[in-house]
Amino acid sequence: MSSEVILEAIDVIKHFPTGARGLLQRTTGTVKAVDGVSLQIYTGQTLGIVGESGCGKSTLARVLMRLLEPSAGSVKLQGEDITHIHGQHLRKVRSQMQMVFQDPIASLNPRHSVGEIISTPLKFLEGHHAGSDKARVQELMNLVGLNPEHYNRYPHEFSGGQRQRIGIARAIAVNPKIIVADEPVSALDVSIQAQILNLLEKLQADFGLSYVFIAHDLSVVRHIADQVAVMYLGKIVEIGSPEDVYGITAHPYTKALMSAVPVANPRIAANRHRIVLTGDVPSPVNPPSGCRFRTRCPKAQELCAQDEPLLLDRGHGHPVACHFPD
């Protein structure tokens, strides 16, 4: 990784109190959504975060964007600590990071035309001239592959893939440095997914954007990421280049995850050995002691219950949090 770090998380922890909050009601515990995560995002590159539902990947993304304030640890944008900033300062920092959501329908206001949706973030830019909005919006629509003549149409007149393009146009409108995409293609059909992924890659190449790409689909992340982090119960269990993580997989969880992905080839599918994990993911309110994966791990031993494995390079060329990596 030769390029510089643009966004960095250092020992980030985010806990949520559980139970209804209110008068006369006690909190019954804390959901340890993100529990000590450190990572770096490099300029012009893509960090993919994979994991199953409830692993904390979306919470982590929101902490990175400072939509949430971490319970502990720090977040740095280009070396500047943005962990606890507020108000005007935070707004300014946030304009450098934009989000693309999973559900393009829910994230667009149905009563606003596409032009209004895409131009809204422009209004908060410094030196903004309302007169130039339309030209800029149409330029953006062109960039994301929408017909600029559809400026006055409403979201419901577009297909799912086109709506996601609108979401992307809105995100890049303010020239952000970083885009956090939370499952941007998982609601779309396969043929459309490919279109959107290609678009994201093109925009990255053209504008030098950095991406944080969150997905549960390992193949999507493999395709788009320069760096892959695998999360389980609020922690990163393995991190590295896609070649490393997918090729020299070291953590048993990553292995199980990969073997669970169906292969679109019936001849391979029939013959391969699959690791089927038993049971469910434990509750993040009460994670297992030691290694969090040990309750479902085929290789778990006594040590795993006592000592929490640190995220270290254990001779694989990339960090793994496991006492007995492959």
Partner 1 sequence: MIAYVTRRILFAGVLLLVVSLFTFLLFALLPTDPAALTCGKACTPERIEANRVRLGYDKPVTTQYWLFLKGVFAGRTYGEGQGEFTCPAPSLGYSFSEKDCVTTLIGRTLPVTASIAAGGFALWMIVGIGLGMVSALKRGRWPDRAISIFSVIGLSFPTFFLALLLLFIFVIWTQILPFPSYVAPQDDFIGWCKALILPWCTIAIISAPSYIRLTRFGMLETMNEDYVRLGIAKGLKRSVVLRKYVLRSALIPIVTVAGLDFGITLGGAVFTESVFSLPGMGKLSIRAVIDSDLPVLVATTLVAAVFIIVFNLLVDLFYGFVDPRVRVRT
Partner 2 sequence: MSDEVRKGEVVLEVEDLSVGFPTPDGLVQAVNGVSFSVSSGQTLGIVGESGSGKSVTASTIMGLTNQKSANVLGSIKVGGIDILRADEPTVRGLRGQEMAMVFQDPMSALNPYYTVGNQIGEAYAVHHPGCTKKERREIALGMLNKVGIPNPIQRIDEYPHQFSGGMRQRIVIAIALVNNPRLLIADEPTTALDVTVQAQILELMKSLQQEFGSAIILITHDLGVVAEAVDDVMVMYAGRSMEKASVTTLFDNPSHPYTRGLMGAVRSLDHSSRGSLHTIPGSPPSLISLPSGCSFRPRCDLAASLGDTCSLKVPSMRRVEPIGSLSACHLDDQQLVNLTKKNFAS
Q: Which does 192 bind (CB under 5 to 8 A by kind): partner 1, partner 2, none?
A: partner 2
Q: Single out the residue of 2, 23, 156, 262 in contact with partner 1 (rule: CB under 8 A).
A: 23
Stretch of residues binding partner 1 (CB under 8 A), selected from 21-29, 43-51, 193-201, 303-311: 21-29
Query: Please, which residue, 18 or 120, has the CB nearer to partner 1?
Result: 18
Within 264-283, the residues that bind partner 1 by CB under 8 A are: none
Separation of alpha carbons 121 and 137, rounded Å? 11
Token pair for 257? 């995850």
Q: Which does 96 bind (CB under 5 to 8 A by kind): partner 2, partner 1, none?
A: none
Stretch of residues binding partner 1 (CB under 8 A), selected from 8-16, 19-27, 74-82, 290-298: 19-27
Q: In the bound complex, what is the minimum distance in angstroms from residue 284's beta carbon to partner 2? A: 13
By CB under 8 A, name the binding residues for partner 2: 52-53, 159-162, 189-195, 197-198, 201, 216, 218-220, 222-223, 242-243, 246, 256-269, 274, 276-281
Query: Please, which residue, 27 or 142, has the CB nearer to partner 1?
Result: 27
Q: Which does 20 bind (CB under 5 to 8 A by kind): partner 2, partner 1, none?
A: partner 1
Which residues does residue 141 pair with via DSSP β-bridges, in sequence order?
A: none
Q: Which does 25 bind (CB under 5 to 8 A by kind): partner 2, partner 1, none?
A: partner 1
Separation of alpha carbons 294 and 287, rounded Å? 10
Stretch of residues binding partner 1 (CB under 8 A), selected from 20-28, 84-92, 119-127, 156-164: 20-28
Stretch of residues binding partner 1 (CB under 8 A), selected from 18-26, 78-86, 156-164, 232-240: 18-26
Query: Please, which residue, 24 or 268, has the CB nearer to partner 1?
Result: 24
Closest CA to 41 of 237, 181, 184: 181
Token pair for 64? 């990175």
> Does 190 contact partner 1 by CB under 8 A?
no
Token pair for 308? 């929490």
Q: Which does 147 bind (CB under 5 to 8 A by kind): partner 1, partner 2, none?
A: none
Number of residues near partner 1 (by CB under 8 A): 4
Q: Which spans of this chain sit near partner 1 (rule: CB under 8 A)?
A: 20, 23-25
